[in-house]
Every structure is written in structure tokens, then in C-alpha cells.
């Protein structure tokens, strides 16, 4: 039975029959209308095909979205009510597993033996039980901790296209939560390519992160209903780890924009009139429904990192704008930075965090971060002049700022633990205090005589300085 946990219907009477099949949309002629979001099923090839009710057409017809492939479905097939919305099996043994939207294993391992089941549409924790965002969550990644810090229990958006290191950065976040905070990670692959999911799974196993991670996938070739709900399925596991296991949870979604796309696809299939830029009229409420469940309670904290695709690099896109309204930090990955060999390819002048104030960071952190930003911003302003006339034409003060900014830019690069086997550079984790100490030294001019290549791909500067790697950024950029 492909949907474990849904009630057995072999001895029950059907509530209706399939009247029409239009792609992933099924119209059901019902004796009595099932509630919206109810899980229905029909026997198919010795197994079951599951539907989710999305629309009541009239007094006897309901429209549902299939959560399986529709090949083999036809008119007149009996439909049964499972008696509940979609729910997934949860267990203390779920860590280290790769699952689908129904909680079934994709890793070839045995099925989960559930302690209980959780409704994927469960409401968020009650207001009286929730708590606000907490202290800064250190990741050991210099540029993140310094310029766009994470907040425990907060939400961070990771904006970047293909090939700029988004997946590697996500994996390093998971490694940091497991090693620094003894927490666990839940990964939701929404609309992932099968190749990407396969590679990510194996890379995380090789990096030693998988034992403290649960991965759920709704792949690109699956029904839009799966891609629309797999995030909620993964979030149900995160809530279980928070509420029952009392763990510090990092909830990672890649890519939340595909969740919006799946909702738009479903909305069009159901015949709803599109709204702004062709998105579904329910865009705001659908995004909010998921985001408002990502919160912390007295039992534990859920900190979220969400990869966000930006269509045509337009940050005013309605989908991006809807997501941005829920985020505490925005980390922008730049292809220009990646082209210079700056990894992680974080664009420090575009990235931001709501925690960037003196009250949250403290005077020292705030002053250092502002000083670093000022140097990098002035360097950005002078780049065109340097390219045309050369650095020699700058004033002595500007020349000093540019040289320090270039060293800071290289200092904020960092080798990661999760790809050490590919780069042959041991990964490092740098505490926030060490990062602040080193940046203060740069700003005071204590490292003005240090060659730029000695700043590239290092930890803190008190560590032993090795020969610079051959694949550093062009020193004449």
C-alpha cells in the first residue's frame, strides 16, 4: 500500500467514482462531498493512487489533484475516503533517511516504524506556546556571521542561480548545525532534478552529515500536487523533531520558488483566474501558510534556510516579494563574485539581516561590520576608475582603502568541510570572535604589509599560513 498511515479501504464503500481525468486533475462524482484537503484514494494496479481535494464544483462534484502519476486512471473507477488529510509516519529513527512525500523510503532502506502520524496540514503552534527569535546562530562561516548573521528561530533566504555554490553553502549550514550546535537538519527538495537529489544525498553521506539529517524529495517529474505538498511533509518532520525530540532543527528548502510554481500550476489546472504577472490569486496566503509554521516553541527551535530563485534577477517579482516579507536575513549569491574565485560567493553589499543593529549585535560587532561594508562599498565605487586609470591615480587614502578592501574580500573566503575531498583544502570553521578580531586588525591597518594571496581561503589569521592555492582570484581584477 503506497500511502502508509492512510486508513485501509478494502472493506469500505466508495464515496464516488471518477467522472473526468484532465492531466493531474481528477473530477469525482460523489455521493457526499469530502472536505477540502481530504485525502482520497482509488485502487490501481494492485496499489493505490492518492488524491487531495482542492475544489467543490457543485453539490455532487469535487476536483482533486493526484499525488501519483495518472497513467491507468479512467472514468468509473471507485474512489474511497481515507478519513483524514494526508499524514506521514514519524519516528525517532527518521534521521539519516531519504523519504518521499508519504514518508516512504527512497534510499532502499526498510520502511519507517512509526511512533505516530502527523497531519501535513497541521496548524502552527499556538501563539501562547511560540517564542520569538533568539540569539545569533553562529555558523562558523565568516562572511555570514559578520555581515548577514543568522538568528536562532529565524528565516533566511538564499538567493542565487545555478553554479554559484548554493547547494554547497546549504550543506555547510547543515554541517555547522550538526557539529557546532549538536542539532539536526531536515531538507526539503522541492522540484529537484533527480540527478541533483542523487548527488546531494551522496555528498552529504561522504561529508558525514547524513546521520543527523532527514531528506524528503518531491522530484521535478512528479505531480504538481507532490511538489506543492512535499515542503509541508518535510515541515511535519521538523515539527516532530522540535516538539517530541526537543532538538535544534535546521529546516532547509531548495527551492521554495518551485513551491510557488507548483501552486500556480495547480491554480491554473483548477481554472482560477490568474492574478499579478500570472501568479495564482492565493499566492500570499499559500506562502504564509508554510512560513508561519516555521517557528520556535519552548520545546525547541526551527531555524530555516530557503533557497530562492529570482526570475530575471527581478527582486520585485510578486513571488519573491511574498517570500521576502517573511525572511529575517537575505543572503545574495553573486555570479560576479564566483567568477572572481570568491567562495562563498556572497555579495556583501546586497545581503542583509534584520539583526544588523547595535542592540542585537553589540557595539563591537556592529562597528566592525559597518567598517567592512564601508571599505567594500568604496572599493566598488572606485573599480571603474582603477580599471581605466590604474590604482596609482587614486589618493593615498583611497589607495589604502582599496588595498584593505581587497584583502578583506579575500579574507572572507573560506574552505568548506563538506567539499574538502574535492578541493583537497581542509575545511575550517571560524568563530565570530576570531572573525571580529581579524577584521579589526585589517581596518586598523595592521595587515597592510600582508600579501593578498595570504588572506585567501584561510581560517583566522592566527592559524599557520600555508602556500596559497593555485586557483585563487585574479589579483589584477
Contact 38, 84 (CB under 8 A): yes
Separation of alpha carbons 283 and 266, rounded Å: 12
- Per the listing, cell 526539503 goes with 188
Q: Is 385 exposed, middle or buried (0-12, 13-18, 19+ CB in 10 A)?
A: middle
Is residue 192 annotated as part of the catalytic site, yes or no? yes
Is residue 193 annotated as part of the catalytic site, yes or no? yes
440-441-445-449 Cα dihedral, nearest 10 degrees? -150
Is residue 166 annotated as part of the catalytic site, yes or no? yes
3-class secondary-structure state, position 330: strand
Overall residue count recorded for the chain in this entry: 477
Catalytic residue, candidates 166, 229, 247, 458: 166
Catalytic residue, candidates 52, 63, 97, 192: 192
Beta strand 130-131 pairing with 213-219: unpaired
Phi, psi values for residue 332, rounded to 5°:
-100, 120
Separation of alpha carbons 348 and 331, rounded Å: 8
Output the CA–CA distances (angstroms, integers) from residue 235 to 119, 231, 292, 333, in the order listed: 10, 6, 11, 25
Separation of alpha carbons 67 and 101, rounded Å: 9
Catalytic residue, candidates 182, 193, 298, 444: 193
Residue partners of 358: CB distance under 8 A and separation at least 6: 366
Residue partners of 81: CB distance under 8 A and separation at least 6: 9, 12, 15, 34, 38, 40
3-class secondary-structure state, position 171: helix
Q: DSSP secondary-structure letter at 272?
A: P
Catalytic site positions = 166, 192-193
Amino acid at each position: 500500500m503506497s500511502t502508509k498511515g492512510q486508513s485501509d479501504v478494502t472493506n469500505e464503500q466508495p464515496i464516488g467514482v471518477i467522472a473526468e481525468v484532465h492531466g493531474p486533475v481528477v473530477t469525482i462524482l460523489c455521493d457526499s462531498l469530502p472536505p477540502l484537503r481530504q485525502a482520497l484514494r482509488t485502487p490501481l494496479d494492485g496499489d493505490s493512487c492518492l488524491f487531495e481535494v482542492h475544489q467543490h464544483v457543485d453539490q455532487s462534484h469535487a476536483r482533486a489533484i493526484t499525488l501519483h502519476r495518472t497513467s491507468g486512471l479512467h472514468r468509473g473507477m471507485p474512489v474511497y475516503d481515507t478519513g483524514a488529510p494526508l499524514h506521514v509516519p514519524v519516528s525517532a529513527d527518521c534521521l539519516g533517511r531519504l523519504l518521499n512525500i508519504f514518508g516512504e523510503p527512497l534510499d532502499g532502506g526498510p520502511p519507517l516504524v512509526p511512533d505516530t502520524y502527523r497531519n501535513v496540514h497541521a496548524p502552527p503552534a499556538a501563539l501562547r506556546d511560540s517564542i520569538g527569535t533568539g540569539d545569533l546562530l553562529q555558523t562558523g562561516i565568516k562572511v555570514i556571521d559578520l555581515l548577514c548573521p543568522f538568528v536562532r528561530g529565524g528565516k533566511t533566504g538564499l538567493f542565487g542561480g545555478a553554479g554559484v555554490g548554493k547547494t554547497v553553502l546549504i550543506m555547510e549550514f547543515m554541517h555547522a548545525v550538526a557539529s557546532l550546535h549538536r542539532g539536526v537538519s531536515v531538507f526539503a527538495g522541492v522540484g529537484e532534478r533527480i540527478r541533483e537529489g542523487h548527488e546531494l544525498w551522496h555528498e552529504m553521506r561522504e561529508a558525514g552529515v547524513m546521520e543527523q539529517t532527514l531528506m524528503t524529495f518531491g522530484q521535478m517529474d512528479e505531480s504538481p500536487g507532490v511538489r506543492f505538498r512535499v515542503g509541508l511533509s518535510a515541515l511535519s518532520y521538523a515539527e516532530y523533531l522540535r516538539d517530541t525530540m526537543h532538538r535544534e532543527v535546521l529546516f532547509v528548502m531548495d527551492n521554495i520558488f518551485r513551491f510557488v510554481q507548483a501552486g500556480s500550476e495547480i491554480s491554473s489546472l483548477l481554472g482560477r483566474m490568474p492574478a499579478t504577472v500570472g501568479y495564482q490569486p492565493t499566492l500570499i496566503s499559500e506562502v504564509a501558510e508554510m512560513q508561519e509554521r516555521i517557528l520556535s516553541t519552548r520545546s525547541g527551535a526551527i531555524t530555516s534556510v530557503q533557497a530562492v530563485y529570482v526570475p530575471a534577477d527581478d527582486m520585485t517579482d510578486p513571488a519573491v516579494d511574498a517570500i521576502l516579507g517573511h525572511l529575517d536575513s537575505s543572503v545574495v549569491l553573486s555570479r560576479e563574485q564566483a567568477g572572481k574565485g570568491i567562495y562563498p560567493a556572497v555579495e556583501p553589499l546586497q545581503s542583509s539581516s534584520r539583526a544588523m543593529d547595535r542592540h542585537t549585535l553589540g557595539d563591537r560587532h556592529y562597528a566592525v561590520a559597518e567598517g567592512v561594508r564601508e571599505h567594500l562599498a568604496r572599493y566598488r565605487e572606485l573599480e571603474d576608475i582603477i580599471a581605466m586609470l590604474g590604482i596609482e591615480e587614486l589618493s593615498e587614502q583611497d589607495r589604502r582603502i582599496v588595498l584593505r578592501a581587497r584583502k578583506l574580500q579575500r579574507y572572507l573566503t573560506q574552505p568548506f568541510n563538506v567539499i574538502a575531498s574535492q578541493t583537497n583544502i581542509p575545511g575550517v570553521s571560524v568563530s565570530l570572535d576570531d572573525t571580529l578580531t581579524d577584521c579589526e586588525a585589517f581596518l586598523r591597518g595592521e595587515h597592510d604589509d600582508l600579501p593578498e594571496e595570504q588572506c585567501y581561503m584561510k581560517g583566522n589569521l592566527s592559524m599557520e599560513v600555508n602556500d596559497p592555492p593555485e586557483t585563487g582570484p585574479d589579483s589584477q581584477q
